[in-house]
Amino acid sequence: MVKRVENEAAEVAQNATAQSSLILSKAQASATAIVEKARSDGLNHLYTEIGELRETWRVEERVEEERIVGGGGREWGIERSLC
């Protein structure tokens, strides 16, 4: 009788340890997923901002180039592409 109770107690303790390990593993995996999603979202935002900034620079360069050139050369049939 005592041995049976001791065995049951040991089994309960092992099950509790296994469940706590499972809970901890799930929590760590969830935390890692949250951090990685935040990192991915941050990088996507950063690259979007960089892309928009680059496009702004390109437009500004085209405007400045057009201002400097001032359409000069068109009277001689020379066209400048704004690509």
Measure CA 56 to chain center: 23
Q: What's the whole-model pTM score?
A: 0.57
Give me the pLDDT at residue 7, please. 95
Q: pLDDT tens for residues 15-50?
A: 999 999 999 999 999 999 999 999 999 999 999 999
CA distances from 62 to 8, 28, 76, 83 (A): 80, 51, 21, 8
What is each CA distance from 23 to 26, 28, 34, in whole angstroms?
5, 9, 16
For the chain, the structural domain boundaries read 2-68
CB 51 within 8 A of CB 37: no
The whole-number average pLDDT for the span 52-81 is 72
Percent of the chain with pLDDT over 70: 83
For residue 62, name the pLDDT band (cuts at 50, 70, 90). confident
The residue with tokens 């092992």 is 14
